[in-house]
């Protein structure tokens, strides 16, 4: 057996898939399709150009692009040079973008012409600009994508070693600066295997991806391409477009965050023949409303598969299988550990505990942050910061450790209160945070999206009838929508900031 098979790398596996499936359609992006052979050819051209700019093993290339053919071509070009990919979400704020570019040491930035530019960087970058018109003036270090792709640059592919850095992915957390999660080519090979095995991705799959590729969707995409699937990529999520694509493209597999599922359920086509081709809907990234999940099962059938993971252990720590979704008791669980993950809890006095995991595809470190690495990794185990209960092998998340509220000396898990609030017939979505309080230390405070006519005090009394007194929100604020992070999660940091500003205005 060859050494490559004994120590596979994600680059070796994915580049071989371009040859293996050459004549099949690889991607369709907003109506434009490319075969595997065309992705191979275009990524050769881009890799040849990048090599002339010094890109190779150990060199970081930041990819700050919308969902596009160029994103896919860039990913494969970076693989061919055994370089480091730094995926950056298009919705990043300018300060965060600048921080990630500086922190990663990126030497090249591939970006859309109309996306924001970071200012005051520590080093000058070569910028490859997608979508710049021929008459648009560019700076000295800026190069049009079209010009780069028109050049004839000989390509000498580089073979990545298993321990070479493949990705520096920045955490989408809601507190503090993002941390650079370093993954190697060898560990990402194991991650590919896990995606294919645990997410039921088949060679004949037609996968619809509408969330940003720098996040979870990117891992799903490459797993599908390894299998020879046809990946349909949209620049954004639109319920009407979703229901049009399902029958026209024969979509069999998709990934949603809960807020996207809610939009689909509210559409008139939910429960119709427009989505009968779908056999797998993967969801995750945020807590889901129990009643809306049950509605989804009624309208879409037994097609749901939940995932729980982190940037540090991409996408897959546990899964709640399609069969598990037929057991009502398990709908509050995020499932069991997947085959390549070991899981344990560090118990606390409440009966819950912090989730710790071990896997061959864990991060190797937080890049340039030895303190954070020491705090998170112990003897090969990752401290996730998530609090949960473990029952018969099934994990029930109760909160993020940083979101636990201590009120009057008592621990309150915000997710428990949120679950109760969502049971109120007039509440569509809820978030619970702790606000500084002179009497309680922290006051349990709820922000909800509710139907017209719903009264805040009625919601509070509803919670009071179902929760211990110290868990009941001291105040309930009704809003039109909850702020979301760029990854589709409820942004509790912004909620806290907004509530503090409201309180300050009230006392001014």
What is the per-residue pLDDT across 427-456, written as a single tens digit (0 to 9) for each? 999 999 988 887 777 889 999 999 999 999
Please work out, in degrees rounded to the nearest 5, the angle formed at the alpha carbon of residue 426 by the alpha carbons of 422 and 432: 40
pLDDT, position 271: 96
User: Which sign does the torsion angle of CA 267, 270, 274, 280 carry?
Assistant: positive
- 2 pLDDT exceeds 60? no
pLDDT, position 3: 59
How many angstroms separate the CA atoms of 47 and 185, rounded? 18
What is the per-residue pLDDT across 314-337, written as a single tens digit (0 to 9) for each? 999 999 999 999 999 999 999 999
The Cβ of residue 159 has, within 10 Å, a number of other Cβ atoms equal to 14
Where would I find the beta strands (DSSP E) of 402-479? 405-407, 410-412, 427-437, 441-450, 475-479
DSSP-derived letter for residue 328 is G
Where would I find the beta strands (DSSP E) of 284-426? 304-310, 313-320, 336-337, 342-347, 353-358, 365-366, 377-378, 381-391, 394-400, 405-407, 410-412
What is the per-residue pLDDT across 52-87, written as a single tens digit (0 to 9) for each? 999 999 999 999 999 999 999 999 999 999 999 999
The Cβ of residue 458 has, within 10 Å, a number of other Cβ atoms equal to 14
Query: Mean pLDDT, to the nearest integer, of 327-355?
Result: 90
Contacting residues for 340 by C-beta, under 8 A, at least 6 apart: 190, 193, 194, 316, 359, 360, 361
- 241 pLDDT exceeds 70? yes
DSSP-derived letter for residue 160 is P
Query: Mean pLDDT, to the nearest integer, of 136-142?
Result: 90
What does the longest C-alpha to C-alpha distance in the chain come to?
74
- 484 pLDDT exceeds 90? no
How many angstroms separate the CA atoms of 82 and 74, rounded? 12
What is the per-residue pLDDT across 463-481, written as a single tens digit (0 to 9) for each? 999 887 888 999 999 999 9
DSSP-derived letter for residue 216 is I
- In the structure, what pLDDT confidence band is assigned to residue 350 with cuts at 50, 70 and 90? low
pLDDT, position 174: 42
- 345 pLDDT exceeds 60? yes
Please work out, in degrees rounded to the nearest 5, the angle formed at the alpha carbon of residue 430 by the alpha carbons of 426 and 432: 135
What is the per-residue pLDDT across 194-208, written as a single tens digit (0 to 9) for each? 999 999 999 999 999
Of 300, 317, 299, nearest to 308 by C-alpha is: 317
pLDDT, position 54: 96
- 176 pLDDT exceeds 90? no
Burial of 78 (0-12, 13-18, 19+ CB in 10 A): buried
Question: Which domains, and CATH codes, for the chain?
Answer: 36-184 (3.40.50.980), 187-401 (3.40.50.12780), 404-507 (3.30.300.30)
- 485 pLDDT exceeds 80? no
- In the structure, what pLDDT confidence band is assigned to residue 1 with cuts at 50, 70 and 90? very low
- 173 pLDDT exceeds 50? no
Average pLDDT over the chain, rounded to an integer: 91
User: Which sign does the torsion angle of CA 123, 126, 128, 134 carry?
Assistant: positive
């Amino acid at each position: 057996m060859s050494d490559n098979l004994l120590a596979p790398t994600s680059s070796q596996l994915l580049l071989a898939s371009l040859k293996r499936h050459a004549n099949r359609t690889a991607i369709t992006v907003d109506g434009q399709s490319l075969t595997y052979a065309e992705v191979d050819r275009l990524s050769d051209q881009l890799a040849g150009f990048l090599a002339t700019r010094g890109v190779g093993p150990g060199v970081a290339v930041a990819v700050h692009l919308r969902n596009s053919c160029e994103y896919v071509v860039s990913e494969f070009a970076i693989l061919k040079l055994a370089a480091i990919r730094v995926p950056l979400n298009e919705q990043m704020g300018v300060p965060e973008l600048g921080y990630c570019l500086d922190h990663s040491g990126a030497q090249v930035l591939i970006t859309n012409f109309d996306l924001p530019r970071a200012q005051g960087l520590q080093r000058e970058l070569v910028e490859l600009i997608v979508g710049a018109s021929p008459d648009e003036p560019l700076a000295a270090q800026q190069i049009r994508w079209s010009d780069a792709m028109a050049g004839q640059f000989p390509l000498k592919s580089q073979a990545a070693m298993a321990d070479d850095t493949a990705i520096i992915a920045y955490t989408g957390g809601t507190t503090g600066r993002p941390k650079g999660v370093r993954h190697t080519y060898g560990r990402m090979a194991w991650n590919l295997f896990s995606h294919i095995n645990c997410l039921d991705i088949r060679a004949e799959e037609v996968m619809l991806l509408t969330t940003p590729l720098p996040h979870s969707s990117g891992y799903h995409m490459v797993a599908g391409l390894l299998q020879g699937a046809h990946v349909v990529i949209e620049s954004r999520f639109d319920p009407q477009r979703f229901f049009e694509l399902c029958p026209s493209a024969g979509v069999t597999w998709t990934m949603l965050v809960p807020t996207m599922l809610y939009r689909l359920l509210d559409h008139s086509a939910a429960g119709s023949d427009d989505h009968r081709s779908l056999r797998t809907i993967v969801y995750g990234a945020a807590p889901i409303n129990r009643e809306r999940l049950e509605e989804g099962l009624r309208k879409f059938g037994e097609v749901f598969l939940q995932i729980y993971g982190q940037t540090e252990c991409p996408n897959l720590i546990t899964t709640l299988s399609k069969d598990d979704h037929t057991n009502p008791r398990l709908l509050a669980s995020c499932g069991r550990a997947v085959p390549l993950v070991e899981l344990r809890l560090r118990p606390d006095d409440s009966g819950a505990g912090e989730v710790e995991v071990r896997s061959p595809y864990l991060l190797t470190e937080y890049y340039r942050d030895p303190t954070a690495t020491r705090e998170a990794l112990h003897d090969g185990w990752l401290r996730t910061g998530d609090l949960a209960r473990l029952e018969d092998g099934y994990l029930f998340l109760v909160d993020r450790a940083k979101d636990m509220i201590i009120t009057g000396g008592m621990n309150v898990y915000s997710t428990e209160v949120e679950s109760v609030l969502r049971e109120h017939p007039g509440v569509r979505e809820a978030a619970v945070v702790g606000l500084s309080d002179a009497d309680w230390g922290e006051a349990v405070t709820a922000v909800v999206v509710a139907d017209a006519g719903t009264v805040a005090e009625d919601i509070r009394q509803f919670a009071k009838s179902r929760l211990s007194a110290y868990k009941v929100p001291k105040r309930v604020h009704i809003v039109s929508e909850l702020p979301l992070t760029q990854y589709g999660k409820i942004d509790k940091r912004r909620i806290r900031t907004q509530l503090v500003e409201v309180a300050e205005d009230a006392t001014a």
